[in-house]
Amino acid sequence: MTTAPDRTDRTGRPDAAPRTVRRIAVIGAGPGGLYFAALAKQLAPERDITVFERDGRDDEFGFGVVFSDETLDGIARADPRVFAAISAEFARWSDIDIRYAGEVRTSGGHGFAALDRNRLRAILRQRCAELAVDLRYRTPAPPVDRLAAEYDLVVAADGIRSGTRAAHPESFRPDLDERHCRYMWLATDKVFEAFTFIVERYDFGVLQVHAYPYSATRSTFIVEAAADSWHRAGFEALAARELARGESDLASVRRCADLLAGHLDGHRLIPNASRWIRFTTVRNASWRHRNVVLLGDAAHSAHFSIGSGTKLALEDALALAAALSEQPTLEEALAGYEAERRPVVESTQRAAQASLEWFETIGRRTGQGIDRFAFNLLTRSRRVTYGNLRARDPAFVDAVDTAFGGSPGVPPMFRPLKLGALELRNRVVVPPLATFTSPDALPSGFDRAQLTGHALGGAGLVIAGMTAVSPEGRATDRCPGLWADHQEAAWRRLVDAVRAVSDTPLGIQLTHAGRRGATAAPGPDGIGRPLAEGWPLIAPSALPWDTGSPVPHEANDIQLTAVTADFAAAAERAARAGFDVLELQFGHGHLLSSFLSPLTNRRTDRYGGPLAHRLRLPLEVLTAVRAVWPAGRPLLVRISASDWAPGGTTEEEAAAIGRALAGAGADALDVSTGEVVAHQRPPYGRGYQTPFAELVRAATGLPTIAVGAISGFDDADSVLLAGRADLVAVGRAHLYDPLWTLHAAAEQNHTGPGARWPEPWRAGSRKPPGPNADRVAPRLHLLREPPPPVHRRWSPDLP
């Protein structure tokens, strides 16, 4: 099944490989299946390709599809004839309109191209006919195993409810995540001029619309509602009747037309097999089974709010066709196709998941003003950021900056914030970063050097990390403490030393590690193993951290009373040592965190059971600390807002925990997630914890700190300007570069008071020139082309 490496076809290209893949069956004549068939036939005309489609040739399904410039570039290079045909019919525009609270905001410079999905299918069908692909309409595909026996390759482009995938779940191992919002695909004969998001509040909740033009006479119009809004709006009763295949829920269509009449301007909503559905995110552990491979929605799906499933399917088709002609065997071709496409798809799915969840929880943001709301919506997926929005449409970002209370040109991260009586010069926090350099439980020389470096590095607040309130509360045998006079004196000397060179506010985090204690310092893998000779551990319940950890003792009332007293005494010591800010660690599986989580607290007494009881000890500790911590000095609490494990803390509970802590005297909440149980499964990625800071902020009204995988200043600016948090904690990036904050200022050409360079370093405050920095490009065009307009609206009358 190999091809000689030096064999070429008559065009001089490498001969199509693998040569034994001559007979190909394609299940589904959607755009992905048709495009693959055309490309595979174009690359190897001798192939016998058959496409099976259960619907008729001229049956119409769906409305408009949107393309990215990347996808269009790929089509243009792969098949110029197809590109010429579809581009001749594109609706093109560059604006996004956000209609919210009776106002409209427009952001330009984005660039869109859309086309009627049925015209796309017709163009691809015509191309397949030109290439002699065998198209069999109204012909359901035979069982996949029979096809696999009769054909060299079976390409399953049979959609999100793929029968092929269902036939071999042991190979594909699908994960189908059905979400909560209901949505309905419609069209309208109102031709919108831009991609338009409509967000309307009613007595029953929020309706949102995703609308965009796709022809001279039509626009796509997707109506979406969160589950509770959908129920309260009466749609459940309207949708109760069982609908036949292809039938539309006309009662719901009429209700949507009535509710959204103000945005339709007398135009109608046009259904096409339109009914309420819930979006399903499709993931598969593998996309192939022997000589069967999945393509498009059968393999993966991404929420419509971030992009088109058709776009992904076309990109799949191109990659699969190319792999068949680049690899020497079918096995290598299918493996190469999946290896190439999976990272692209997973990246898109991460962005789509963030966008999907944003719309599912849109009610958290409907109290924002129009400018901040519009910015929040545009940056929901974390792909669009403050920086690239400014590059696309500076006037839009300037307007949001002004509405946020800042001056245009001053990055959000460099605006001041008042916490209690303390004025922070900027919104950047260096979070607690354990050094594990304290075998005697005293702050070490390395602690002093690290805190000094970070204080000089420009952040608005620097917090010393993981300081135990008692000997048995240490996480490791190399963590510092604050339970004795000599420790207080050592911290006092450290604070004085830092203050001698910097006026950056300093904080300290106090903790009791609970069942996560008595380990060695983490090794290269980041894991701390239990000490051979540790100390007794306490926890709410006798549950070890993992199978290799010792079983903790279930804490009794006397021990819990002592824990509360230890926190209060350590807080008094921290105040005398001169710290400006105190943080209590109620997250990451430490003792107070393990009382909050239902996964780790199995008690049946007054400290266990319902959330009000699980909150009892944390609130007792916070109340005792609040009583001794000086008024005006901020008191922060870090929580884990999600356990990332089934049965763990819910979003509703996280909000309730935040409200309880606010009521007990917390000045701000440091909102983290995870590390509560060893079997957690977090969806790691840029800013993946930020939505929880936004959740808690909306629920409590307290300032929140967003943490976790925030390492770029553009992301920090986006989080702050969108109102997802009031401060950003940047940890690992500050280990990589202790001057991260000042360097972020230099990168953004900011020199204001929020980015204060130490006087001895002021000469280094400008970004050093790089290679070719002094090169001036010559003029190479007789007449320069004007830059493309920032704002372009769609009109069928414009070229």
| pLDDT tens sequence across 55-100 | 999 888 889 999 877 788 888 899 999 999 999 999 999 999 999 9
DSSP single-letter state for residue 755? S
The pLDDT value recorded for residue 493 is 98
Q: What is the C-alpha to C-alpha distance for residues 239 and 251, in angstroms, rounded to an integer?
A: 8
Instruction: Reduce the secondary structure of 301-367 to three states and give it as a string.
Output: CCCCCCCCHHHHHHHHHHHHHHHHHHCCCHHHHHHHHHHHHHHHHHHHHHHHHHHHHHHHCHHHCCC
pLDDT score of 240: 87
pLDDT tens digits for range 336-347:
999 999 999 999
Query: What is the CA angle 603-606-607, rounded to 5?
Result: 55
At 636-678, the pLDDT tens digits run 999 999 999 999 999 999 999 999 999 999 999 999 999 999 9
Choice between 442 and 308, residue whose per-residue pLDDT is larger:
442
Flag whether pLDDT at 143 surpasses 70.
yes
3-class DSSP assignment, residue 552: coil
The number of CA neighbours under 13 Å toward the Cβ of 65 is 24
Each residue of 300-313: pLDDT tens digit? Answer: 999 999 877 899 99
pLDDT at 1: 37
User: Shortest CA distance to 501 belongs to which of 440, 442, 453, 547?
Assistant: 453
Average pLDDT, the chain: 94
* pLDDT higher than 50, residue 7: no
Q: What are 350's two structure tokens? A: 């991460």
- Alpha carbon distance 211, 219 (integer Å): 7
- Lowest mean per-residue pLDDT among 6-10, 48-52, 402-406, 667-671: 6-10
Segment 587-646, tens digit of pLDDT: 999 999 999 999 999 999 999 999 999 999 999 999 999 999 999 999 999 999 999 999
Report how far residue 385's alpha carbon sits from residue 391's, in angstroms, rounded to the nearest whole number: 10
- 345-377 pLDDT, tens per residue? 999 999 999 999 999 999 999 999 999 999 999
With a pLDDT cut of 90, the percent of the chain lying above it is: 86
At 260, the pLDDT band (50, 70, 90 cuts) reads very high
Q: In what order do the strands lie in the sheet with 112-116?
A: 64-67, 112-116, 91-93
Q: Which has more pLDDT, 321 or 58?
A: 321
What is the predicted pLDDT for the residue at 305?
93
Residues 642 and 599 sit within 8 Å (Cβ to Cβ): no
Instruction: Give the pLDDT confidence score for residue 179 in this predicted structure.
Output: 95
pLDDT of 799 reads 59
Predicted pLDDT at 14: 45
Identify whether the C-beta of residue 36 lies closer than 8 Å to the C-beta of residue 127.
Answer: no
Q: Which pLDDT does position 19 carry in this prediction?
A: 56
Q: What is the pLDDT of residue 13?
A: 42
